[in-house]
């Protein structure tokens, strides 16, 4: 139960990026969960680590590996179609992929949906997602230290080191500011 509450509290990240009504609601809920994990957008206690090796299948059943991403700046976003904050961030990731593809950016969405591939495929088409979507599992979430709430997003530098983690939604402009230093040649 405590883990579920911590996950819920972490899911209400970044009240500064919510509208006033959402902020008031989140404050009331957080107050009732005062024993839960502290709320952070960017994890100030985060320590960089080498990106774990992984292989996952995309929505067409083709394998995608971490080795394919070597030399690129990677945004690895753990999300699901039913997650409101995840859905709100996707247009920003579409914009970032378009804007920085030539600079070596590779956005990869790791879907944690359990309702089947067809739902994810339909979502990709409806939202015009222009980056790779792979189907996640417990192995990939464990390899990244556990994903207690979604969205959880990592930035990996060109050398393969995970440099940044955020839990919860973040405005595209704020996330782009975190990403920009890694895109420089």
What confidence category does residue 11 fall into, taking pLDDT thresholds of 50, 70 and 90? very low
Delimit the domains of the chain by residue range. Answer: 1-39, 40-183
In terms of pLDDT, which residue wins out, 113 or 12? 113
Give the residue among 74, 48, 73, 71 at the shortest CA–CA distance from 134. 74
What confidence tens digit (pLDDT) does each residue in 70-91 have?
Answer: 999 999 999 999 999 999 999 9
DSSP assigned state of 53: P
What confidence category does residue 185 fall into, taking pLDDT thresholds of 50, 70 and 90? confident
**pTM of the full structure:** 0.78
Q: Which CATH architecture has domain 40-183?
A: 3-Layer(aba) Sandwich (3.40)
What confidence tens digit (pLDDT) does each residue in 110-136 have?
Answer: 999 999 899 999 999 999 999 999 999
Rounded-to-integer distance, Cα 98 and Cα 117, Å: 25
- Could you count the other beta carbons within 10 Å of the beta carbon of residue 91? 13
Rounded-to-integer distance, Cα 137 and Cα 77, Å: 13
Rounded-to-integer distance, Cα 60 and Cα 52, Å: 23
């Amino acid at each position: 139960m405590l883990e579920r509450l911590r996950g819920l509290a972490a899911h209400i990240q970044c009240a500064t990026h919510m509208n006033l009504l959402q902020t008031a609601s989140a404050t009331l809920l957080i107050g009732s969960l005062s024993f839960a994990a502290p709320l952070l957008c960017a994890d100030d206690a985060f320590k960089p680590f080498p990106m774990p090796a992984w292989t996952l299948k995309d929505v067409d059943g083709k394998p995608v590996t971490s080795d394919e991403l070597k030399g690129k700046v990677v945004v690895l976003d753990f999300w699901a179609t039913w997650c409101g904050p995840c859905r709100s961030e996707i247009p920003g990731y579409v914009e970032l992929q378009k804007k920085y593809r030539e600079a070596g950016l590779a956005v990869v969405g790791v879907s944690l949906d359990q309702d089947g591939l067809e739902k994810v495929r339909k979502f990709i088409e409806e939202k015009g997602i222009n980056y790779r979507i792979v189907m996640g599992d417990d192995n990939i979430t464990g390899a990244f230290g556990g994903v207690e709430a979604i969205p959880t997003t990592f930035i990996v530098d060109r050398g393969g080191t995970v440099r940044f983690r955020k839990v919860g939604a973040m405005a595209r402009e704020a996330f782009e500011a975190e990403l920009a230093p890694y895109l420089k040649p």
